[in-house]
Amino acid sequence: MCRTRAKRDRATEVGHEAAAPRRTCIGCRCTCGQSALVRVTVRERRVVVDDAHAGGRGAYLCTKVECLEAALRRGAFARALRSVAEVDDGFRTCFLMACAARKGGELSGRQEDGS
């Protein structure tokens, strides 16, 4: 038995819950629980929201529009995903929809008025 598994087994025996996975947002660099963030990956040279949690390299964003804008401004997608990929308007729309679904219909940050 490896040490990590032995530690986990001991923690379970004494009644401790296993810690939820934590990930870092590529926009604001805050660390949150994996379930609070939106995962993105690259498919066919485009950045897409990864709802199915497919294998491969992924990156995480908070559910704030400001984090998306900061990641775009800093070039964080190419660095985190280690790929030259396009971030188009379709991705922005999918990201906003994923944020709305994750937050129960409420978006934080600025919303576009469509004009």
Task: State pLDDT tens for residues 55-69.
Answer: 789 999 999 999 999
Alpha carbon distance 82, 62 (integer Å): 20
What is the reported pLDDT for 62?
94
Region 42-54 average pLDDT: 87
Does this model's pTM top 0.85? My answer is no
Region 73-94 average pLDDT: 91
Whether residue 115 is contained in a domain is answered as no
What is the reported pLDDT for 15?
57
Whether pLDDT at 28 is above 80: yes
- CATH number of the structural domain spanning residue 29: 3.30.1230.10
Whether residue 46 is contained in a domain is answered as yes
Query: Which residue range forms the structural domain that includes residue 42?
Result: 20-102
Give the residue among 51, 27, 47, 28 at the shortest CA–CA distance from 39: 51
Based on the structure, what is the number of domains in the chain? 1
What is the reported pLDDT for 112?
42
